[in-house]
Amino acid sequence: MKRYSRITGTGSYLPPRRLTNADLVTQLAAAGVETSDEWIVERTGIRARHFADDGVFSSDLALEAAKNALQAAGRSAKDVDLIIVATSTPDMVFPSTACILQNKLGANGGAAFDVQAVCSGFVYALTVADAMIQTGAAKCALVVGAEIFSRILDFKDRTTCVLFGDGAGAVVLEASDKPGILASDLHADGKHVGILCVPGHVSGGAILGDPLLKMDGQAVFKLAVGLLESAARATLAKANLTDADIDWLVPHQANIRIMQSTARKLKLSMDKVVVTVGEHGNTSAASIPLALDTAVRAGQVKTGETLLLEGVGGGFTWGALLLIL
Ligand code: ACO
Whether 187 and 246 have beta carbons less than 8 Å apart is answered as no
According to DSSP, residue 164 is labeled B
140 catalytic residue (yes or no)? no
Tell me, what CATH number does 139's domain have?
Answer: 3.40.47.10
- Rounded (10°) CA dihedral 277, 251, 181, 82: -50
pLDDT of 12-34, one tens digit each? 999 999 999 999 999 999 999 99
240 catalytic residue (yes or no)? no
- For residues 306 and 263, state if they share a domain: yes
pLDDT of 79-132, one tens digit each? 999 999 999 999 999 999 999 999 999 999 999 999 999 999 999 999 999 999
pLDDT of 151-169, one tens digit each? 999 999 999 999 999 999 9
Domain of residue 195 covers 181-324
Task: Give the end of a domain, one of 158, 176, 194.
Answer: 176
Does 155 contact ligand 1 (Cβ within 6 A)?
Answer: no
Q: What pLDDT sits at residue 1?
A: 83
Q: What pLDDT sits at residue 110?
A: 98
- For residues 137 and 198, state if they share a domain: no
Mean pLDDT across the stretch 193-207?
96
Does 117 contact ligand 1 (Cβ within 6 A)?
Answer: no
CA-to-CA dists, residue 151 to 51, 87, 212, 213, 299, angstroms: 9, 13, 8, 10, 33
pLDDT of 290-322, one tens digit each? 999 999 999 999 999 999 999 999 999 999 999
Q: What percent of the chain has pLDDT over 70?
A: 100
197 catalytic residue (yes or no)? no
CA-to-CA dists, residue 252 to 17, 111, 176, 183, 319, angstroms: 22, 26, 26, 18, 10
The helix/strand/coil state of 28 is: helix
Q: How far is the CA of 27 from the centre of ligand 1 (A)?
A: 19
Q: Whose CA is nearest to atom 42 of ligand 1?
A: 217
Task: Determine if the pTM surpasses 0.95.
Answer: yes
- For residues 225 and 147, state if they share a domain: no
- For residues 171 and 53, state if they share a domain: yes
Does 254 contact ligand 1 (Cβ within 6 A)?
Answer: yes
Q: Whose CA is nearest to atom 46 of ligand 1?
A: 254
- For residues 157 and 203, state if they share a domain: no
- For residues 209 and 162, state if they share a domain: no
Tell me the C-alpha distance between 295 and 69, whole Å.
14
One-letter amino acid identity for 215? M
Task: Give the end of a domain, one of 146, 176, 206.
Answer: 176
